[in-house]
Structure 1
Amino acid sequence: MKTMPTRIDDALFTAAKQAGQLHSRSAAQQITHWAYLGRALEVEGSTSTRTIEQVLTGEKSYDDLDPPSQAAVRAVWDERITDRIARLNLADEFTAHGETWSEADADGTVVERTTSST
């Protein structure tokens, strides 16, 4: 396989890195996976981005889609979930609301955190 250097947007690279970790792929492998999926959607022809968008907005049922369209929807869901997880910082949210919370430290010991112990 021949490779060529390509500039990738930072947000896309970060999303690929996070999604790749979930699927045991490197960021480059994840971007390649997404590229193949996009190419397959364009070649397939029966799957339209409009149909996928209708499922994502709840206008159409996922169960009514053919398998390639379902795969495309799952890929979008995967990407959205990965992005939301990357932006999630519960410690900041709890601190902002003055809440106490518990979490496991690096050794697996449960530690209670407060706004003053973060």
Structure 2
Amino acid sequence: MATIPTRIDQALFDAAKAAGELQSRSAAQQLDHWARIGRELESSPAVTHDAIARVLAGQSPYDALGDREQAMVRAAWDQQLTERIGGLDFEDRLRTGGRPWPEADADGNVVMRDAGPSGRGA
């Protein structure tokens, strides 16, 4: 079986490594296992993709879905949250708003940051 290198999120790799250790699999083997399960779920006639899309669009209740559909919705929500969190830049918002903020320095001490050009003042 040929393999193709790909980039994945560090958190997903760490989760695969931890789960794989419990199943005597490498992280790559665990990711492959999860991908196969996902492929089977998506191609299953028991999974109603229209119902999943309606829940993701906020048009239908989550509780109306079966277990498999709920699992797929949770995976989609997890990905959406990860993408949104990755795009957050609170320092930029605070600086733009002219507001100071507390932050931990390298030693774990609380330091107040100002909204000036350097953001490193008292």
TM-score band by shorter chain is 0.7 to 0.9
Unaligned runs of 5+ in 2: 18-26
- TM-score (ref. length: structure 1): 0.73
The structure number with the bigger radius of gyration is 2
- Indicate the residue corresponding to 2:16 in structure 1: 25
- Indicate the residue corresponding to 1:89 in structure 2: 89
CA distance in 2, matches of 1:19, 1:98: 33
What SS class does the counterpart of residue 52 from structure 1 fall into? helix
Shift of residue 39, structure 1, vs aligned partner? 0.8
CA RMSD of aligned residues (A): 2.7
CA distance in 2, matches of 1:4, 1:98: 50
Name the structure, 1 or 2, with higher relative contact order (CA <8 Å, separation 6+): 1
* 1:19–1:82 CA contact under 8 A, matched in 2: no
- Indicate the residue corresponding to 1:53 in structure 2: 53
Q: What CA deviation, in whole Å up to 9, does each residue of 1:80-113 have, x standing for no partner?
A: 0111111111001111111111122333222211
CA distance in 2, matches of 1:63, 1:92: 38
Q: What CA deviation, in whole Å up to 9, does each residue of 1:26-82 have, x standing for no partner?
A: 696786466334312233212233211111111111111111000000000000011
Query: How many aligned residue pairs are there?
Result: 109
* 1:105–1:111 CA contact under 8 A, matched in 2: yes
What SS class does the counterpart of residue 24 from structure 1 fall into? helix
Alignment map for 1:29-40 (pairs within 5 Å) = 32=32, 35-40=35-40
Q: 1:57 to 1:30 in 2, by over 3 A?
A: farther
